[in-house]
Amino acid sequence: MTIRQVNTGNLFEDFHLGQKFNHGVPRTLTQADASIYLSLTGQRFALNCSQVLSKECGFKAIPIDNLLVFHIAFGKTVTDISLHAIANLGYAEVKFETPVFAGDTIEVTSEVIGLKQNSNGQSGIVYVHSLATNQAQQTVVSWIRWVMVPTRIKKFFDPKSAIKKIPHYQNSLHAEQLIIPTKTDFAAWRASVSDYQFTINDLNIGDELFHQDGITINAADHMQATHLYQNNARVHFNRHQMQQTNHQTPLVYGGHVISLCRAISYNGLANTIWLVAINSGEHTAPTYADDTIYCYSTILDKQPIEHRHDVGLIRIALTGYKNLLVQPQQINATDSLETLIPNSQIVLKLDYWALMII
- Residue list 44-63, contact with its own copies (CB under 8 A): 44, 46, 49-53, 62
Determine if 248 is a binding residue for its own copies (CB under 8 A): no
Number of residues in contact with its own copies, rule: CB under 8 A? 94
- Report the C-alpha gap between 203 and 185 in whole angstroms: 21
Show the CA angle centred on residue 299, arms to residues 295 and 303, nearest 5°.
140
Determine if 151 is a binding residue for its own copies (CB under 8 A): no
Q: Cβ of residue 329: shortest distance to its own copies, in angstroms? A: 13
Sign of the four-CA dihedral 358, 276, 51, 184: positive
Determine if 347 is a binding residue for its own copies (CB under 8 A): no
162-181 positions binding its own copies, by CB under 8 A: none
Q: For residue 252, what are the β-bridge partners?
A: none
Determine if 302 is a binding residue for its own copies (CB under 8 A): no
Q: Cβ of residue 204: shortest distance to its own copies, in angstroms? A: 7
Determine if 337 is a binding residue for its own copies (CB under 8 A): yes
Give the residue with the Cβ less far from its own copies, 234 or 308: 234
Q: Cβ of residue 166: shortest distance to its own copies, in angstroms? A: 28
Determine if 152 is a binding residue for its own copies (CB under 8 A): no
- Give the interface segment with its own copies, choosing from 123-131, 149-157, 167-175, 240-248 (CB under 8 A): 240-248
From first CA to last CA, the distance across the chain in angstroms is 68
Determine if 219 is a binding residue for its own copies (CB under 8 A): yes
Determine if 32 is a binding residue for its own copies (CB under 8 A): yes
Give the residue with the Cβ less far from its own copies, 56 or 167: 56
- Give the interface segment with its own copies, choosing from 90-98, 161-169, 233-241, 279-287 (CB under 8 A): 233-241
- Report the C-alpha gap between 278 and 294 in whole angstroms: 20
- Give the interface segment with its own copies, choosing from 84-92, 146-154, 290-298, 306-314 (CB under 8 A): 290-298
Q: Cβ of residue 355: shortest distance to its own copies, in angstroms? A: 18
Determine if 1 is a binding residue for its own copies (CB under 8 A): yes
Burial class, 204, CB count within 10 angstroms (exposed 0-12 / middle 13-18 / buried 19+): exposed
Q: Name which of 76, 135, 77, 142 is nearest 105 in CA terms.
A: 135
Q: β-strands 272-282, 346-357: how paired? A: antiparallel
Ramachandran quadrant class, 82 (left: phi over 0; alpha: psi -120 to 50; beta: rest):
alpha
The contact mask relative to its own copies for 67-106 (x = CB under 8 A, - = no) is ------------xx----------------------x-x-
- Report the C-alpha gap between 20 and 310 in whole angstroms: 41
DSSP annotation string for 111-154: EEEEEEE-TTSSEEEEEEEEEEE-TTS-EEEEEEEEEEEE-SS-
Q: Give Cα separations from 59 to 53, 71, 95, 177, 181 (angstroms).
A: 9, 22, 19, 22, 9
Give the residue with the Cβ less far from its own copies, 148 or 193: 193
